[in-house]
């Protein structure tokens, strides 16, 4: 089944404790992206990647890191999480680069930083 998977689905952590949220897609998509979703603010892009070893900042990159060493994986790293990073996070992928291809979303990771 074609899909985007994320782990963990739920995470409660404390301020400053480094964490990684994994994202993997099995559709051989070139483009991958991370979003956060907050009430009243909608989905905002954190980082995106147009291909292996190519990443770029989205609208809200502060406090996050990403890497794209393999085509299928695009982990999101929070080196020192803070409470304002409490949010619902989504990974997405699309076949090609550029915005004119629909993005497929993962199931989401609900993160709480205490």
Partner 1 sequence: EDQVTQSPEALRLQEGESSSLNCSYTVSGLRGLFWYRQDPGKGPEFLFTLYSAGEEKEKERLKATLTKKESFLHITAPKPEDSATYLCAVAGTASKLTFGTGTRLQVTL
- Check: CB of residue 32 under 8 Å from CB of residue 46: no
List the one residue from 33, 55, 87, 93 that touches partner 1 (CB under 8 A).
33
Position 71 contacts partner 1 (CB under 8 A): no
Least separation in angstroms between CB 13 and partner 1? 20
- Check: CB of residue 64 under 8 Å from CB of residue 13: no
What residues line the site for partner 1 (CB under 8 A)? 4, 31, 33, 35, 40-45, 48, 50, 56, 58-59, 90, 92, 97-108
């Amino acid at each position: 089944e074609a899909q985007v998977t994320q782990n963990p689905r739920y995470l409660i952590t404390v301020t400053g404790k480094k964490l990684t949220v994994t994202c993997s897609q099995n559709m051989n998509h070139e483009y991958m992206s991370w979003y956060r979703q907050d009430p009243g603010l909608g989905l905002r892009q954190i980082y995106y990647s147009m291909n292996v070893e190519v990443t770029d900042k989205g609208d809200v990159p502060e406090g996050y890191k990403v890497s794209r060493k393999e085509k299928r994986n695009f982990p999101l790293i929070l080196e020192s999480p803070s409470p304002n990073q409490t949010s619902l996070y989504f990974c997405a992928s699309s076949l090609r680069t550029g915005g004119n291809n629909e993005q497929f979303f993962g199931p989401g990771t609900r993160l709480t930083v205490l």
